[in-house]
Chains A and B, each alone.
Chain A
Amino acid sequence: MKCSEFLHELTDYLDGVIDAGTKSELEEHLAWCHNCYVVCDTTKKTIEIYRDSKLYELPENLETKLRSAIAARCKSHKNKTSEGKA
């Protein structure tokens, strides 16, 4: 496997949706190509760091405020709809 072929398969490899034959070719490539090994390893870490980060967590007080606002707007819509039907 060439480096360009490795890159083509990288997403499926990291997602675990690669067929056994291609996976074994790719891992053989990674065993001797340090450059691709580092690209693969650091890309995997990139995904894990973002996935496990607490980036953009919704604070509890804001969540409460948003839930109330959503409920009020939905109620208002329901009232308007039922008035229209009456």
Chain B
Amino acid sequence: MGAIQPKVSEPVSDELALVEAAKAGDDAAFEELVRRYDRNVFRIAQHITQNREDAEDVVQDAFVKAYTNLKQFQGQSKFYTWLVRIAVNEALMKLRRRRPERTVSLDEDVKTEDDSVPREVADWSPNPEQQYTQAELRDILDRTIHGLPATFRTVFVLRDVEGLSTEETADALNLSIPAVKSRLLRARLQLRERLNKFFQRRERANGLQNPVSGDGNQ
């Protein structure tokens, strides 16, 4: 076992040139930035809002806000990280409007659980996702991440789905690096725990093997 392979990111060498051109009034350059990142922004927005219409609004609002505030972008971070920060704020605002009864803040206290390793964990099938059709799998993943607190979902989608670095995620969310790492660990462990019932070995799920003892499958 080893580290997960990082997602190959889009080339960003000409990003700054596009931003400078857009700042100078070249709308085609800004449209190229939209083309480059609209799918990412939509994915992030839907992960956070968990609502298709809200995600559509967030994509529009985030790009329009970026366009109207482009002169304020000083190039200290990547344009994409700056755009993500705008999109995350827009998405959280949507979520607050939709669920006013629950305070949604990235700074909320996450010290809710102890740091003990889960016990008597069930192993998964070798390729657990292949037990399901694409549509079934999407439904499982959607329902599973839906149950996660917004603060965990947000860090997880930026780091593990979109492939931002820890530093970029901290920058985009205005969080410290230890805060990003702590939320990421909890998000990963909670998702793993929730996916257990779908992906654990069939024999175990059917009670055909002792669920506690190891099976020498290391």
Contacts and interface: CB of A to CB of B under 8 A. Distances in A.
B118 interface: yes
Residue of B1, B55, B129 with most chain A CB atoms under a 10 A cut-off:
B1
B185 A11 contact: yes
B122 to A, nearest CB: 7
B134 to A, nearest CB: 7
B1 A44 contact: yes
B160 A51 contact: yes
B71 to A, nearest CB: 11
A34 B124 contact: no
Contact of B218 (A34, A47, A48): A34
A15 interface: yes
A83 to B, nearest CB: 15
B161 interface: yes
Interface size class of B (residues with CB under 8 A): 35 or more
B3 A15 contact: yes
A71 interface: yes
A50 B141 contact: yes
Contact of B214 (A34, A40, A77): A34
B151 interface: no
Contacts of B218: 30-31, 34, 37
B4 A46 contact: no
Contact of A43 (B35, B47, B68, B192): B192
Given A16-B3, A45-B124, A50-B145, A8 B115 contact: yes
Interface of B: 1-4, 6-7, 27, 30-31, 34-35, 38-39, 42-43, 46-47, 55-56, 59-60, 63-64, 67-68, 115-124, 128-129, 134, 137-138, 141-142, 145, 156, 160-161, 163, 166, 181, 184-185, 188-189, 191-192, 195-196, 199, 214, 218
